[in-house]
Structure 1
Amino acid sequence: MGRRWLVTGCSSGLGHALATAAARAGDELVVTARKTADLADLAAAWPGRISPVPLELRDTASCEDAVRTAVDRLGGIDVLVNNAGVGLFGAVEEVSDAELRDQLETLLVGPWRLTRLVLPLMRAQGHGHVLNVSSVAGRIAFPGLAAYIAGKHALEGMSQALAAEAAPHGIRVTVIEPGMFATRYGTAMTEARHRVPAYDGTNREMLEGARGIAENPETGRPEDFAARVLDIVAAEGPTPLRIPVGDDAYGFLDLAEQAAREELAAARSLVKGPPPAV
């Protein structure tokens, strides 16, 4: 039997490619976007395998409806992929409370809510797989992306705790950490309304780089991302909690691990050194 998927954020990019790959593999999916019109091509290409459902992650009732619809149409949920996301660009000083809350609602609270709704179903089945799509930014940081990075770091922390809680019930948890892929992430990114010119020298280059990710010849293809995720879901036996996807992701995280070791060594030297002179 094929797997039954609930995948968020499928109007384009990674989610769209993953839905296509899973349907091609013979699985059944409920796919979501804020507007089902954005999912029409998927439904038309895979009638009977892909069912589009509207979802506003920031709304509790909408999340409940999406899960209920998935169960009604598929008979259960074997794989939940929390993929939907949006970027906010702005220095810490520039991001307002309202903008921060909106970012965290999408990147953390919404996925947490969907996971909470799906877990009782998976426990009753005795199996399931929750995949939270993070980013290399879930373990490292870039200037100008503090709100986005805060959401991804928090999502990874939640996933680590969830993995320990869910394992005795036959439920796997995986954090996917994509590198750069040709999606609308950079062009769809919004900017904080409040501007502090003092940060332009630090952050503007980062914004330009993010806007141009899709045009970078070294950027990965969403179809390659989808293939790796299918491999992860099909894997038997224990798998790592965090799985980077994309060659550049491993390069970024190798550097991050080295920097973390150096920072730890410097911290140990500082706190274990002789007390400061009075």
Structure 2
Amino acid sequence: MRDVLEHLRRLGMPGYEAKAYVALVAAGRPVNGYEVAKRSGVPRSTVYETLGKLVARGAAYEVRGSSDATEYLPLPPESLLDRMRREFDGSVAALRTALPAVAAAPEAPPIHGLKDAEAMLDRAGDVVAAARRDLFVSIWPAEMRRLRGPVEEAAGRGVDVSVVAFGEDAGPAAGARVHRHRYSAPEAVLEDLGYRLIVVVGDRREAVVGGFAEGAAWGIYTADPAVALMAAEYVRQDIVLQILADRVGAAELDRLFATDPDLLRLLGRR
């Protein structure tokens, strides 16, 4: 019951109105205000005002009882939910146009810190959900379990999704191009970095970058297109390296990294 009342409240039906509506639905027959108060816990002093508000919003109807007293019937739940959905969708559609029109242009692209795993994965989910053109993801199994659904939804709506997956459990994701990170081995990467890195970039315009280690998590969200482009390129280059390792073999890449002077310089092994 608490869940029902909470969801009704979230959809714009205040507490007393939600309690009265649920009482009407549970009654299964026309009932008067006194019985609604008794069933719902709405104070008798406010129950008729509350029922009036339900009638005004079309969630309940007044009927005449056998004693000519006013009784109330609920709008059927299916009809109420359909109406709420239409109203909600209509408001969202209107705000998509109205809010950008009144928003001031930011002085600089937004960037903010993310100080725990929940905040970081929620923000990464926002980036995935907003992607319309392409999505680049570098991720480990623990984080992929949380984001697999949104990533698959993005692929399903036509987003070009590229994933670098560390570990066998990090993939697959239906509709996405998943490249397993075998060069270097995931355990070697984890030992070298000391934490699991996550990179999520949507449309090369916003990104979440962060790390997870021993119960701690930290990172940033940014809509700076330059930073987002750099993060996307990081994932793209890692994908290229995995493809090369598959095509020419890890041994040949090891030989190049050990002998080529330019690669040695970049790797700091001179």
TM-score (norm 2): 0.26
* Larger proportion of strand: 2
Higher relative contact order (CA 8 A, sep 6+): 1
Greater Rg over alpha carbons, structure: 2
